[in-house]
Structure 1
Amino acid sequence: MANSNEREYPVMSRADVEGLIAQGRKIIIVDHFVMKVDAWLPYHPGGDKAIMHMVGRDATDEVNGLHSPEARLMMDRYRIGRIEGHWHNFLPPIQGGIFRSPSAAESHDEKHQVSVIPESSSASSRSQSPSPIFDDSEARHRSTGSSSPSSVSSYSEQEVDDGTAFLDAKTGEAIRLDLDKYPSLDDRTQEDIIRKAYAWEMFRYTLLFSLMLLFLRWKWYALSAVFLGAFWHQITFTAHDAGHMGITHNFHVDTLIGALIADFIGGLSIGWWKRNHNVHHIVTNSPEHDPDIEYIPFFAVSHRMLQSLRSTYYDTVMEYDALAKILIPIQAWTYYIIMLFGRFNLYRLAYTHLFLSPRPKGPGWWHWYVEVVGQVAFWAWFGYGIIYKAIDSNWARLVFILISHMGQAPLHVQLTLSHFAMSTADLGPGESFPQRMLRTTMDVDCPPWLDFFHGGLQFQAVHHLFPRVPRHNLRRAQKLVQRFCDDVGIPYALYGFVDANVEVVGRLAEVGRQATILAKC
């Protein structure tokens, strides 16, 4: 039963929502409320693409997982109505969804009676007991519909392109495998975690940076660079927490902490990371939408990348060009080599975001200026103070830069391990948030004493369910996730570090073989 405040909003049908989206409105569903967020789109600190991927969808889990209580309260001003019962997600326009005019949508809904499922009608499909980690306010159910996801390609008898037919067949096979393996759920997650002290981590960071300075003073440049690389590797984990507002849970304070680490200390961009990473959390492992797996021409983790796909994040076509046709078949062999140079690509992405993209608006408009000051400070202490002043030869400077930057390779491997080997199939907009995260994300098993090396990010599946939980609490949360998976029948991907590497290299080799087959078509 809706409370008094909720009764102020009219009940809207599926046709009402579809009609608004057909008119170009940006409509999302949060906690059974219909929200029109057009006015907020250019001011969203996480970027407009994160919202665009939620248009027409129930964004409750994503909103609760990625935003502070204050931000969620602020969203109330965008409410225009409410829905009753379970909401069936649309495919967002940015992902190719097609929407009808209000009259056409209403006529279709009356004919097929598919606007919403009343809560009483789904009672038989409710779980017998609530999940240990999700507040199950709606039914968890298996999908019994016969329709396949919209991403399943079908081709006519006139299809003569053997390469396209091969890719379509692989797409259908991948989707069928996932539909057979994973149940369809509908849970929403809420988890509030109190801040934990970072005193031990600050001690470790200070020790690594001090050793870098000590060996630099002694002119042991290579060893000094090793400790700088280790320092950058470790401090990035705290920047990750700050980017998710997982330290103080205050948007501005955590952003400043992230800028101090990423921009002032690391020469990267916390603004770029947040914009990129928010989209990654919403459309994880989607070849067209997730920037964290869009590495053409160097890597392709899905056979669907063996054609020219359009990236909705970069708003450009990822050409499967001549260079890709050379590199993708051998990507299993070049994987670790390319990971050594990943930090240089992060500089490119940071500067593109800061100086070639529109400046952010909204409450965080001034963060851009902080980041620019941070870039100047970074190149003052690192570029001038260390590389130019403290090192006495060009060869030693080159060695120092390469070793310190290659020290980030374990971090890049760590992050790609959790996604490269997992499913990239699109099961359609009806798939729930928790299943999507667990289907596309792998956890890496290690003893507790090694958690500091992995930075807690070996628990990527847990992290994707609870983005704002500080990483030092993820090991405890893992047990809840395991119980949840046992309860609802979702496979929980957990591999040892070596086995995870084998899985990733195996996936790269498999897609590489498919690229070779495609070249012969």
Structure 2
Amino acid sequence: MSSKVQSLRERILSRSEIEGLIADGHQILIFDRKVLKVDAWLQYHPGGDKAILHMVGKDATDEITMFHSVDALRMLERYQIGRIEGRWVNFVPPIQGGIFQRHEEEVSGGEKTNTASESCQDGLFKRSGQTYLGLDSRTDTISLSSTVEPDTLKAHTGSLPKPGFLDIRTKQEIDLDLSRYPSLDPTKQDEIVQKFQELHERVKTEGLYDCPYWAYAIETCRYVFLAFLFVVFLRQGWYVASAVSLGMLWHLLVFTVHDAAHLSITHDYTTDSLIAFTIASFIGGLSASWWKRNHNIHHIVTNAPEHDPDIEHIPFFAISHRFFTSLRSTFYDRVMTYDPAARVFIRVQHWLYYPVLLFGRFNLYRLSWEHLLMGLGPRKGVAWWHRWYEMVGQVFFWTWFGYGVLYRSIPTMRDRFKFLMVSHMVAMPLHVLFTVSHFAMSTADLGASESFPQKMLRTTMDVDCPEWLNFWYGGLQFQVIHHLFPRLPRHNLARAQKLVLEYCEDVKIPYAFYGIVDSNKHVLGRLADVAKQATILAECQKAAAKDILRSH
């Protein structure tokens, strides 16, 4: 590397210069005090472009470190364009509604000016479209800061707008989280981050990233046994028993796909990707590349109603009243309309939770086909082959399952339908496992100043299950640990949990940990609470409509 290039990479960039680059459309993020311009990497990123877009303007040191190997981190040097001095105060990324202004070196008189947009700096929830109570027109988020004074707003509007039912509810939820979790004061958040990094070093020192391959030998024995039962029962004409065996096999195999997609088995990108894509597509008929794109966003913006696809299930479920405002999903790039169907389903969603999840696997087919046919995943770089490999896998799956099993091996339409439904519904507990750890947790936006570890602990729950049942939960009972250390092998998560519990006690962050029954009660309680809010909103709207009619 030439001394000139090295000098450019080590230059100090001001906040307004970085803002100006983002305003010009560049993808700028901070990693370990280094300023990275990753425009060129966007289309090559194996985890998808949106995972990067949610980090623009932010210090992404913890997120990047937790998701990438040492070799991957070394690649970042090529994108460095400068450094920062002092503590970085996060911007709100453009994809999340942040507004940025171009940098101006000088104004008349030769004085330098800093045009950093106050609407997108950290101070709680300052974004575009802000009104009284800080209601953000793009994100429907309430601000608790005093940046917008009522007298100032009144001077511009002539009156103070009355906060609505949804606005008040949002503020209540933010107030609750601010009372339960550590202060968002920079000094406290820096302490939480520093101790988290020390925790990560301890995790590495204790060898928790080393995969226990003997555990996968045991897992493989389970897979082979269930596959054997599936074939034997099918040939004997015991179609329900065969379908149950196949459904259980699919259920358990998903956990290995999850491990491999996080590169937590061999830690080699190509090897783990082959494991994930082969099992998901050839054996399960699903797309692991869709899952990676979806799941990476979930890990970065966990439980954010307008950003996290894992909680965007309108019209069937809403775990926040904010879905009543027809939010725009930044992942799906469409408005999640709170339409008449949603108004009906949401009001009884706590009764529909388990019945709807019975059909969850069919929705995964839809999402997988949509991802592959539309080419939504990376098409360049090390991931270029994913789409084509999985398309071959889809053909293989529907040949052996659709033609070989359903059509050739089962004689009647009635038995075929029964086999199809039973095999798919047996996997329903898997969808419960994926949702139970988040549906009951906070969806409040505490702003860009909240640290990565605090947000993961605030939005994720662990489930306490008997040790003998661990194989059925596949590591997903340790969702808190997994969100903090996503590349950690699942068979080591129990050991890591002890370290995290000590960390939480030290930094005074509550650790959500419930038994199987209580965790499900919490989820049903959250769904019932939001359903009640939907009912109240509907009654308010009816009353308002009657008042309008009377006035005319």
Q: TM-score, normalised by structure 2?
A: 0.84
2:303 maps to 285
Contact map agreement 1:171 1:425 (CA 8 A) in 2: yes
Residues 150-161 of structure 1: matches in 2 within 5 Å? 150=126, 151-152=141-142
* Matched letter for residue 194 of structure 1: D
Secondary structure class of the residue paired with 2:113 = helix
1:304 maps to 322
2:15 maps to 14
| 1:437-459 residue CA offsets vs partner (Å, 9 max, x unmatched) | 00000000112211111111110
Secondary structure class of the residue paired with 2:476 = coil
Residues 246-265 of structure 1: matches in 2 within 5 Å? 246-265=264-283
| 1:331-386 residue CA offsets vs partner (Å, 9 max, x unmatched) | 00000000100000000000000002345222210121111111111111111111
CA distance in 2, matches of 1:347, 1:465: 29
The unaligned stretches of length 5 or more in structure 2 are 107-111, 127-140, 541-552
- 1:472 and 2:491 are equivalent in the alignment: yes
| 1:97-141 residue CA offsets vs partner (Å, 9 max, x unmatched) | 1112212997347999x99xxxxxxxxxxxxxxxxxxxxxxxxxx
Shift of 1:74: 1.4
- 1:409 and 2:428 are equivalent in the alignment: yes
Question: Which one of 196, 212, 225 corresponds to residue 196 of structure 1?
Answer: 212
| 1:235-268 residue CA offsets vs partner (Å, 9 max, x unmatched) | 1000000110111111111111001111011000
2:67 maps to 66
CA distance in 2, matches of 1:161, 1:337: 42
Residues 313-324 of structure 1: matches in 2 within 5 Å? 313-324=331-342
Distance 1:6 1:469, change over 3 A: farther
Residues 441-456 of structure 1: matches in 2 within 5 Å? 441-456=460-475
CA distance in 2, matches of 1:266, 1:49: 26
CA distance in 2, matches of 1:358, 1:334: 31
* Matched letter for residue 113 of structure 2: S
Contact map agreement 2:304 2:445 (CA 8 A) in 1: yes
CA distance in 2, matches of 1:68, 1:228: 35
CA distance in 2, matches of 1:443, 1:110: 40
CA distance in 2, matches of 1:227, 1:69: 40
CA distance in 2, matches of 1:437, 1:210: 40
Contact map agreement 1:301 1:507 (CA 8 A) in 2: yes
* Matched letter for residue 524 of structure 2: V
Question: Which one of 343, 350, 362 corresponds to residue 325 of structure 1?
Answer: 343
- 1:148 and 2:166 are equivalent in the alignment: no
1:24 maps to 25
Contact map agreement 1:27 1:36 (CA 8 A) in 2: yes
Contact map agreement 2:293 2:377 (CA 8 A) in 1: no
Question: Which one of 494, 501, 516 corresponds to residue 482 of structure 1?
Answer: 501
Secondary structure class of the residue paired with 1:313 = coil
| 1:29-79 residue CA offsets vs partner (Å, 9 max, x unmatched) | 111110000111111111111100000011111111111222111121101
* Matched letter for residue 343 of structure 1: R
Secondary structure class of the residue paired with 1:492 = coil
CA distance in 2, matches of 1:508, 1:111: 38
Residues 1-400 of structure 1: matches in 2 within 5 Å? 9-103=10-104, 107-108=113-114, 147-150=123-126, 151-152=141-142, 165-183=164-182, 184=184, 185-186=189-190, 187=193, 189=197, 190=200, 192=204, 193-197=209-213, 198-358=216-376, 360=378, 361-400=380-419
* Matched letter for residue 258 of structure 2: H
| 1:186-219 residue CA offsets vs partner (Å, 9 max, x unmatched) | 3154454112201000111111111111111111
Larger radius of gyration: 2
Contact map agreement 2:103 2:115 (CA 8 A) in 1: no
| 1:461-501 residue CA offsets vs partner (Å, 9 max, x unmatched) | 11000000011110110011100100000000000010000
Structure 1 stretch displaced more, 174-183 or 355-364:
355-364
> What is the root-mean-square deviation of aligned Cα atoms in Å?
2.3
2:549 maps to none
Contact map agreement 1:301 1:508 (CA 8 A) in 2: yes
Contact map agreement 2:101 2:115 (CA 8 A) in 1: no
Secondary structure class of the residue paired with 1:77 = helix
* Matched letter for residue 165 of structure 1: G
CA distance in 2, matches of 1:420, 1:160: 35
Q: TM-score, normalised by structure 1?
A: 0.89
CA distance in 2, matches of 1:350, 1:508: 27
Shift of 1:415: 1.0
Secondary structure class of the residue paired with 2:347 = helix
CA distance in 2, matches of 1:337, 1:309: 25
Q: Percent of aligned positions with the same letter in both sequences?
A: 57
Contact map agreement 2:357 2:428 (CA 8 A) in 1: yes
Secondary structure class of the residue paired with 2:363 = helix
* Matched letter for residue 398 of structure 1: F
Contact map agreement 2:170 2:444 (CA 8 A) in 1: yes
Contact map agreement 1:438 1:493 (CA 8 A) in 2: yes
Secondary structure class of the residue paired with 1:35 = strand
Contact map agreement 2:8 2:82 (CA 8 A) in 1: no
| 1:163-187 residue CA offsets vs partner (Å, 9 max, x unmatched) | x711111111111111111114231
| 1:4-28 residue CA offsets vs partner (Å, 9 max, x unmatched) | 9799511112112111111111001
CA distance in 2, matches of 1:111, 1:414: 42
Structure 1 stretch displaced more, 244-253 or 356-365:
356-365
Secondary structure class of the residue paired with 1:286 = coil
Contact map agreement 1:14 1:109 (CA 8 A) in 2: no
Residue-pair matches, total: 486
CA distance in 1, matches of 2:117, 2:344: 52
Runs of 4+ in 1 over 6 A off after TM superposition: 4-7, 109-112, 154-162
* Matched letter for residue 149 of structure 1: F
CA distance in 2, matches of 1:507, 1:387: 39
The unaligned stretches of length 5 or more in structure 1 are 116-144
* Matched letter for residue 475 of structure 2: G
| 1:263-293 residue CA offsets vs partner (Å, 9 max, x unmatched) | 0110000100000000000000000000000
- 1:461 and 2:451 are equivalent in the alignment: no
